[in-house]
């Protein structure tokens, strides 16, 4: 096989795997049943697994290894967030914050906090900045962001959104942010919500939906449904809708119809007088 054909095959396989992973598939079944008992007779004895490092321990070499480090970073983020009396003060506080390990992992050159209308009725929350966002200092300005903008424009929402992410620094290799990184950034995100006071949240992708709603299901099961988001102190409640991430839609254009339906459902509710879920 030629090198070009091999590269194409690899890209197709990668795209398909990403599709299934985004859909929440975490196991693969074979067409033929496997007799594990029979197979086990010839398998080497199972050795005890090496102890798995707790999440906190892998979160940041710079921050140290313990849950205490994460708790301290969260506490500091809470303090800084609470002290910020406006969005610009909050942006400055985030830019100066050194408690998120992502800041020191080599991919981020700056904090990327938000773009859009500070009084927007709709807050869109993505996963985390990529290379384009890091270069520009604004969320969702790359290919996925352009698709998001086209969808928002088609739904008449262009000037009615503020866009942000669950984390404010670019993860290396554009990997998904860890729950620890999201937890450390959460007080700032929550302060953005308090300062903007949107009417509802649109959660783009599984990493955003799971972290903000504290749910375990895959995005294909969460999307298009209404959830109630509540602030940590219980003072604020908002309707939140998970939808498919625009980067996923670029890889799987056939899924655009579902994301579009989600956006229409959300827009319809945004424009109707307040009604409970």
134 interacts with ligand URA by CB under 6 A = no
Q: How many residues bind ligand URA, per CB under 6 A? A: 13
Question: How many CB atoms are closer than 10 A to CB 131?
Answer: 12
126 interacts with ligand URA by CB under 6 A = yes
Q: Quick check: helix, strand or coil at residue 108?
A: coil
- The stretch near ligand URA (CB under 6 A) out of 35-43, 98-106, 126-134, 175-183 is 126-134
> Alpha carbon of 100 to those of 9, 103, 140, 182, 220: distances in Å?
37, 6, 20, 9, 29
22 interacts with ligand URA by CB under 6 A = no
To the nearest whole angstrom, how small is the minimum distance from the Cβ of residue 144 to ligand URA?
5
Report the alpha-carbon distance of residue 32 to residue 226 in Å, rounded. 39
Contacts with 65 (C-beta within 8 Å, 6 or more apart), sequence order: 56, 57
To the nearest whole angstrom, how small is the minimum distance from the Cβ of residue 148 to ligand URA?
8
139 interacts with ligand URA by CB under 6 A = yes
Contacts with 40 (C-beta within 8 Å, 6 or more apart), sequence order: none
Query: Tokens 């290894």 label which residue?
Result: 65
Q: Residue 116 or residue 129: which is nearer to ligand URA going by CB?
A: 129
Rounded to whole angstroms, the maximal C-alpha distance in the chain is 67
Tokens representing 88 are: 């610009």
Report the alpha-carbon distance of residue 83 to residue 86 in Å, rounded. 9
171 interacts with ligand URA by CB under 6 A = no
Orientation angle between helical segments 143-154 and 256-270, nearest 10 degrees: 50
The residue from 22, 69, 105, 133 that contacts ligand URA (CB under 6 A) is 133
Cα R_g (the chain), whole angstroms = 21
- The stretch near ligand URA (CB under 6 A) out of 70-78, 89-97, 125-133, 222-230 is 125-133
What is the footprint of ligand URA within residues 219-258 (CB under 6 A)?
Answer: 247
Instruction: Specify which residues 123 forms β-bridges with.
Output: 162, 201
Q: Residue 56 or residue 203: which is nearer to ligand URA going by CB?
A: 203
128 interacts with ligand URA by CB under 6 A = yes
To the nearest whole angstrom, how small is the minimum distance from the Cβ of residue 161 to ligand URA?
13
To the nearest whole angstrom, how small is the minimum distance from the Cβ of residue 142 to ligand URA?
6
Q: Which of 254, 233, 255, 231 is nearest to 244 (CA)?
A: 255
What is the footprint of ligand URA within residues 66-95 (CB under 6 A)?
Answer: none
145 interacts with ligand URA by CB under 6 A = yes
Report the alpha-carbon distance of residue 82 to residue 84 in Å, rounded. 6
Q: Residue 56 or residue 157: which is nearer to ligand URA going by CB?
A: 157
The residue from 140, 168, 169, 248 that contacts ligand URA (CB under 6 A) is 140
State the residue number with the nearest CB to ligand URA.
126
Residues forming the site for ligand URA (CB under 6 A): 126-130, 133, 139-140, 142, 144-145, 165, 247
């Amino acid at each position: 096989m030629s090198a070009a054909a091999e590269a194409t095959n690899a890209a197709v396989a990668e795209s398909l795997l990403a599709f299934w992973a985004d859909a929440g598939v975490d196991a693969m079944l074979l067409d033929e049943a496997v007799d594990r008992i029979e197979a086990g007779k010839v398998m080497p004895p199972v050795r005890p697994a090496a102890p798995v490092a707790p999440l906190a321990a892998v979160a940041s070499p710079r921050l140290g290894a313990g849950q205490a480090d994460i708790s301290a970073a969260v506490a500091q983020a809470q303090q800084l967030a609470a002290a910020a009396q406006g969005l610009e003060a909050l942006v400055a506080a985030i830019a100066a914050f050194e408690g998120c390990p992502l800041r020191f992992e080599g991919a981020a050159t700056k904090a990327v906090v938000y773009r859009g209308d500070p009084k927007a009725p709709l807050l869109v929350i993505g996963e985390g900045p990529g290379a384009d966002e890091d270069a520009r200092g604004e969320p969702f300005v790359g290919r996925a962001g352009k698709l998001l903008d086209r969808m928002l424009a088609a739904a008449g929402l262009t000037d009615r959104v503020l866009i942000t992410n669950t984390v404010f620094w670019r993860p290396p290799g554009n990997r998904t942010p860890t729950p620890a990184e999201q937890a450390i950034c959460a007080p700032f995100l929550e302060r953005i919500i308090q300062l903007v006071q949107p009417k509802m949240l649109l959660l783009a992708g599984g990493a955003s939906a799971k972290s903000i709603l504290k749910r375990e299901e895959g995005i294909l099961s969460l999307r298009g449904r209404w959830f109630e988001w509540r602030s940590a102190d219980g003072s604020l409640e908002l309707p939140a809708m998970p939808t498919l991430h625009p980067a996923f839609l670029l890889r799987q254009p056939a899924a655009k119809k579902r994301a579009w339906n989600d956006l229409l459902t959300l827009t319809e509710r945004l424009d109707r007088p307040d009604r409970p879920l």
